[in-house]
Amino acid sequence: MSIVLAAAAAGLFGCGTFLLLQRQLTRILIGLALLSHGANLFIVLAAGGRGDPTFAGGDDAASLLDPLPQAFVLTAIVITFGVTSFLLALAYRSWRLTGDDEVQDDIEDRLIASRWTAAEELADAELADAEHDAAHAGHRRDDRGAHAGGEPRHVDEDDR
Amino acid sequence: MNRLLALPIALPLAAAAMSILCGRWRAAQRVIGLVTLTSLVAVSAAVLIHVDTEGPLASQAGGWEAPLGITLVADRLAAIMLVLSLVMLLAVLVYAIGQGEAERDHVGFHPVYLTLAAGVSGAFLTGDMFNLFVSFEVMLTSSYVLLTLGGRRDQVRTGMTYVVVSLVASALFLTVLGFVYASTGTVNLADLSGRFAELPAATRQALALLVLVVFGIKAAVFPLFFWLPDSYPTAPMAVTAVFAGLLTKVGVYAIIRTQTVLLPADDRPGTLLLVVAGATMLIGVLGAIAQNDIKRILSFHIVSQIGYMVMGLGFFTVAGLAGALLYIVHHIIVKTTLFLTGGLVERLAGTGHLDRLGGLVRTAPLVAVLFLIPALSLAGIPPLSGFVAKLALVDAGVSTQEWAIVAVSLLVSLLTVFSMTKIWAGAFWGEVEASDGGRRLPVLMVAPTAVLTALGLAVALFAGPLYGLSERAADDLLDSTAYVQAVLGG
């Protein structure tokens, strides 16, 4: 086991995790790539120490390198490549649609979380509105202009 | 016979390639998809019957000996899951063809759908952890594409969360594979069951826990479920139905498989699993109650139901595992049906939002029946399949005297009824809402839904033989000698 390689794997995991916690998809993407590089390096390390090349290294089985982890890593690299390109396409699509590649919150979830507070706020707003109207009612009696001025505001609120 | 084991993986992949070549002719793509899945249902049924009478089947790809080569193995559990998932895939494909939307508009739907089938079959049949990883990736990559097919704004948003969470889980899986290989020098499950016993207890438990976390993300158990209710609802209904029925259950399958094969009997994390199961059930159902959209309610219920399956595993007794298996069978059928019915409602009314639905029991009585039966079954009302499955689980809990989890599971059943009544009252009762009404439902959408509803009833009707089969499968799981022998020989 090489200390340098182990430290490199640890560094990749660390940087990957940091980037993963950002909100831009491109950064997350790089984070994921680093994370899987770290994992791949780690599997290579899991194969044990150095040895002779597997298929051309001679007949002594004990001195040969274990080829299985390298087969794993090759497969994993191909998979990561495919998925990374998919994510890039997704980030591009997001940029086309929203002008940004930021990962957004779940709107429906927010809506449900805020439903009760929203209902209370609405009730409060209506109450304030009624008081407002009552205050204006006095003016309206002497001045018709103020009444006409108040009209569009009500239309706005109905639309909302 | 064991040559057949490669078919459920190879055939859909070949068919997917054919399907791409026929991209211009939707009719040809449909024929390819339907023929492939129908023949695979037959193949998998043959495998199930063979495995149930003669014991586990194993096949070594390319003739490489077991610990080194790619092993395909089918025992009762794998065969049951294979048959069920292929039946679901077939039914939903028919539904998707009837529905039109994604299937009609995108060349890629059929090839990707078939690749998904290959991935799911691969995950059930593989005999080593690395190919489990590969199968998961095949399945998940297909699911990314299906989820974002259409590229709408909300799909892209939820697709991001889903893809990123899945990828983190995959990177973790890869790391765990590194740990496992470093400590045992093999990834073959049968070989691992022997090697794990030789490891120091602490190493063994740490590895098993890591494996549990990885598959816990995929199965959406309690602290790791957050991605599911967000991402599933935006896909086309047929796609969501397949995801709901199959994907998380592949994760549950992997949890059951690894926790039983890898760990010796006295080392299994029973209490931990029971705590996780209880929390999953409760949080899932509470989340469902808060929602206001059919798809979202049903998505939260998936989480809640996963808890029941993990609960059965947590007992680590034959009765518990048999109950869990019966529950999985019931759940896959019923959940898929519910999502398909949800799709019918959306097609009729143009929305799945409960505030804008109402009176469907008068305008569409057939849809109401197709919803009511699986909904009551999900809640566990006798004599439907959910009742049978929950009874088996509760019975197992009582016999191991785990009173707390039994109480939680009964409470959650009650809350499930509550949230199902919410859909019922919101969508089916009440005033008839103004909609563009009078839309006819395509026969190809209604027929698969009806067939699956009937299948759900059949589970209740043939609960005895099914429970017997589950019990035999559970026996296999707790004593993996036959499995190990079939793979390693000797």
Q: How far apart are CA B143 and CA B136, in angstroms?
A: 10
- Tell me the two tokens of residue B303: 């989480």
Phi-psi region of B416 (alpha: psi -120 to 50; beta: other; left: phi over 0): alpha
Q: How far apart are CA B429 and CA B439, in angstroms?
A: 19
Count other C-beta atoms under 10 Å from residue B83's C-beta. 22
Closest partner CB to A39 (pick from B130, B174, B182):
B174
Closest partner CB to A69 (pick from B133, B158, B181):
B181
Give B37 or B235, the one with higher predicted confidence. B37
CA–chain centroid gap for B94, Å, is: 19
- What is the pLDDT, as a whole number, of residue A149? 41
- Mean pLDDT over B452-459 rounds to 91
In this predicted structure, the answer to whether residue A141 has a pLDDT above a threshold of 50 is no
Q: How far apart are CA B84 and CA B396, in angstroms?
A: 24
Q: What are the residues whose beta carbons fall under 8 Å from the beta carbon of B201, sequence distance 6 or more?
A: B267
In this predicted structure, the answer to whether residue B478 has a pLDDT above a threshold of 80 is yes
- What is the pLDDT, as a whole number, of residue A74? 92
In this predicted structure, the answer to whether residue B179 has a pLDDT above a threshold of 60 is yes
User: 3-state DSSP call for residue B227?
Assistant: coil
- Judge whether B174 is closer than 8 Å to chain A, CB to CB: yes
- Mean pLDDT over B380-398 rounds to 89
- What is the pLDDT, as a whole number, of residue B437? 53
> Mind listing the pLDDT tens digit for each residue in A21-67?
888 888 888 999 999 999 999 998 887 777 777 777 667 777 777 88
- Judge whether B158 is closer than 8 Å to chain A, CB to CB: yes
Contacts of A39 in chain B (CB under 8 A): 171, 174-175, 178
- Judge whether A15 is closer than 8 Å to chain B, CB to CB: no
- What is the pLDDT, as a whole number, of residue B2? 75
Q: What are the residues whose beta carbons fall under 8 Å from the beta carbon of B205, sequence distance 6 or more?
A: B267, B269
Average pLDDT, chain B: 87
Q: What are the residues whose beta carbons fall under 8 Å from the beta carbon of B254, sequence distance 6 or more?
A: B123, B132, B136, B215, B218, B219
Residue B6: CA atoms inside 13 Å, Cβ hemisphere, count?
A: 10
The residue among B141, B160, B186, B289 with the most chain A CBs within 10 A of its CB, best to mutate, is B160
Closest by CA to B297, choosing from B217, B417, B396, is B417
> Mind listing the pLDDT tens digit for each residue in B50-87?
988 888 888 887 777 777 778 899 989 999 999 999 99
Asked if residue B111 has a cis previous peptide bond (ω within 30° of 0), the answer is no
Task: Kindly tell me the sign of the dihedral angle through the C-alpha atoms of B217, B220, B221, B222.
Answer: positive
Measured between alpha carbons, how far apart are the two ends of chain B, in Å? 19
Share of chain B above pLDDT 70, in %: 98
In this predicted structure, the answer to whether residue B433 has a pLDDT above a threshold of 50 is yes
Name the least confident of B84-88, B114-118, B379-383: B379-383
CA R_g for chain B: 21
- What is the pLDDT, as a whole number, of residue B477? 87
Put simply, the answer to whether A72 touches B177 (Cβ < 8 Å) is yes
- Judge whether A83 is closer than 8 Å to chain B, CB to CB: yes
- Judge whether B188 is closer than 8 Å to chain A, CB to CB: no
Contacts of A82 in chain B (CB under 8 A): 141
Q: How far apart are CA B288 and CA B293, in angstroms?
A: 10
In total, the C-beta contacts within 8 angstroms joining chain A to chain B are: 100
Contacts of A87 in chain B (CB under 8 A): 163-164, 167
Task: Fill in the amino acid letter for B275.
Answer: V
In this predicted structure, the answer to whether residue A139 has a pLDDT above a threshold of 80 is no
- What is the pLDDT, as a whole number, of residue A155? 39
Contacts of B164 in chain A (CB under 8 A): 20, 25, 28, 32, 87, 103
Q: How far apart are CA B252 and CA A125, in angstroms?
A: 49
- Judge whether B217 is closer than 8 Å to chain A, CB to CB: no
Q: Give the E-state strand segments of B220-368 in sequence order.
A: none
- Mean pLDDT over B453-479 rounds to 90
In this prediction the pTM is 0.87
- Judge whether B151 is closer than 8 Å to chain A, CB to CB: yes
Closest by CA to B243, choosing from B154, B332, B150, is B332
Interface confidence, given as ipTM, is 0.83
In this predicted structure, the answer to whether residue B139 has a pLDDT above a threshold of 90 is yes
In this predicted structure, the answer to whether residue B192 has a pLDDT above a threshold of 60 is yes
Task: Kindly tell me the sign of the dihedral angle through the C-alpha atoms of A66, B203, A33, B227.
Answer: positive
- Give ∠ CA B243-B249-B253 in degrees, rounded to 5: 150
> Mind listing the pLDDT tens digit for each residue in B268-315?
888 889 999 999 999 999 988 888 888 888 889 899 999 999 999 998
Instruction: Give the burial string for B444-478 (b: 16+ CB within 10 Å, else e).
Output: ebbebbbbbbebbbebbeebeebbebbbbbbebbe
Domain extents in chain B = 2-488
- What is the pLDDT, as a whole number, of residue A146? 42
- What is the pLDDT, as a whole number, of residue A150? 39
In this predicted structure, the answer to whether residue B441 has a pLDDT above a threshold of 60 is yes
Closest by CA to B301, choosing from B370, B358, B228, B198, is B228
